[in-house]
Structure 1
Amino acid sequence: MPVPRLARPLESPRSSPPAAMTLAIAATAGLLAACAANPTIQPVKVPELRPGVPAGYLAPEARPDSVALLPPPPAGDSAAFALDKDTAKLARTQWAKPGSARWKQAQLDADLDFPAAAGTFSCALNAPVSEAQTPRLYMLLRRTLVDAGMTTYRAKDRYKRTRPFVATNTSSCTPADEAKIAKDGSYPSGHSAAGWAWALVLTEIAPERADAILARGRAFGQSRIACGVHWQSDVNEGRMVAAATVARLHADPVFESDLAAARDELNKVRTQGLPPNRDCAAEAAALATNP
């Protein structure tokens, strides 16, 4: 599940978590500080993969099997791969040209580091999302990122699909990371899995904002095509992984409890009329060109 500056923030099911995960889903301690500052929030003991790195809700053996769920990626001579190539070309030449607003939005969406990633759905929710203002929701996003992202890795490791910028000898929207992410399988997209998992979870937390949330979740996945780091089929199947992961999460009582707490927390924040912590006008303008 490669992100800017990182090669692989989530470990494969056959290996221990790599150092990159520390950066992609780092810094848990602030949650306790936020709880201490607000006596209505009770500190929650969150399991960790290593000090400062929260675990997901699902044990490795409880995660859906992405190899069993997904077909192999499109063959090189297939109509499906021809569509992948056409979509990538349209992104580079039309709706997400390098330097365009949509390209720049893809760069923002590529960053899965927290706290930056916490505000991804702030505009869609019409509310701020941060460790200080919504600590339970903040941690819910971090933990579900781990679950959705890790679930992609059996298929990633099995197929080791070449990324578009490598196959087409072009540049991505995050050139500093290309040497690292080129070694990480393209299929399915970890970012798309995380973004769609977040969207599905957030529609349950704020159902009245469901259309905006789901549209943002879709656009988050399409940003990977805009960036040149995933094929459309990678993104599509990333969403399938997300749906399977969220369905499985609902059988976990800790997730269910945290979901309810995050819902209550967000409702309280929204009653205060606090603005989102993103530039929503700029985001809307950039995403207006989303295919």
Structure 2
Amino acid sequence: FIAQLDYLQENYRVVGWPDVAAHLGGKASLPDRACLLTFDDGLRDAYTHIYPLLCRRGLSGLFFPMARTPEQGLAGVQTLQLIANKFSDPVEFESMLFAKLSAGERDQFMTDIAREKAEYPPDRFGENKLRSLRRVINTYMFRELEPVLEEICRERIGEPKELGRAFYLGDGDIREMVAGGMHFGGHGITHYRMTRLTPDELHKELAASREFLAPYTSGPLALSYPYGDHNDAVMAAVRTAGFVAAFADKGEGLADSVYALPRVDTIHVPPK
């Protein structure tokens, strides 16, 4: 990460969220080769590792925490990450998962595995069973499988609520980061794909983000879509909720909408 910051500062002009917001609103121009640093999920390493590095360099970042406190425990996406890291063999993970599903849920899971292979054909890295399992869990069966993941987490790793206390930014962390020149935006509550939510669920996710951010910023507010997942209906809801911009997760160059701003993943930022 330090080498990547070196690269970005040598080749780009790192700007802050207020600069980008003013540009998007037509109130100011950005310098050539402008670059905004963004960080998703609100994990505590944003405070312990990223924030000190940015401060030492006089840089600002835009952070997108989920609208949840550490006391609420792990979100499903982080529970899955911990479990996936625990199991070196994805077949063992799949077997343990299947053992906790009903017959109907197992049938649905196999249907969704086939669906995942059709929607996400093997890429240049080839097939990856663990990646397929994670996609099915995060995309198709997130509601049904979250309690199962919590149960596996308790058995193999620890109590999700206890783990959450060490995993996420706390109120004091965020306040210190804001005082140090960092900025914050919305990321929903659950990290569910927003295109898979009902209109009422989507409204609650967006409203909760605004409520969560209110003690730390008066705006303008940006949103980061979980997994970069969005469509026209989601973008319209984000706009109606009062966010002035939203970030996807892939691509570069010009965006078609301020509610579909592309980002470059760190895996594509030199040195790789």
Please say whether Structure 1 and Structure 2 have the same fold, judged by a TM-score greater than 0.5.
Answer: no
TM-score by length of 2: 0.27
Higher RCO by CA contacts (8 Å cutoff, separation 6 or greater): 1
Which is richer in strand? 2
